[in-house]
Amino acid sequence: MRNYHIPQPQRVRKIDRSFAWIDHRLLRNGFLPAMTHQDLAVYLFLVLAADRNGVSFYRKEKICDALGLDWSDFEVARDRLLDLKLIAFQPYSAATPNGYYQVLPVDGRPPNFESQTRPPAQRSSVKRQDLDPVAWARS
């Protein structure tokens, strides 16, 4: 077992009344590089809003308001999460007037989204000293 220092031992997380978790396989199995920021935001919201079965009854309007997304960005993110098999969606019907979402177990690896994934981060030409106000003021 590793010996390590807890920076703020008086503030160790505890499980109180409700609890949500994010499966480490999102990182380990390669889902994160296949996800956009909008995908991640919607997924995080659904994880936090879900009950113990992974089900959330939040409406699209409420999710968009909470995340600052417009409807089209939300729908693209939702569809990508469906394609990644990270969520299921029961659309609106007479029986389910608001529809609902289910966060699914993280299984396997993401499909090949090479043409749809976010572009790799490009190195900025801004140098660290350019961001330093003292160095900037001297020049």
Cβ–Cβ under 8 Å, residues 109 and 27? no
What digits encode the pLDDT tens for the residues 6-47?
888 888 877 777 778 899 999 999 999 999 999 999 999 999
- Mean of the pLDDT values across residues 49-65? 92
Both structure tokens of 29 = 């199995």
Both structure tokens of 102 = 């289910």
What digits encode the pLDDT tens for the residues 79-133?
999 999 999 999 887 777 678 999 999 988 998 755 444 454 444 444 444 444 4
Backbone angles phi, psi at 55, to 5 degrees: -100, 135
Cβ–Cβ under 8 Å, residues 43 and 102? no
Could you identify the residue written with the tokens 């029986």? 95
* Nearby residues of 5 by Cβ (< 8 Å), 6 or more positions away: none
Write down the CATH number for the domain with range 20-112.
1.10.10.10
Residue 101's nearest CA partner among 44, 70, 55 is 55
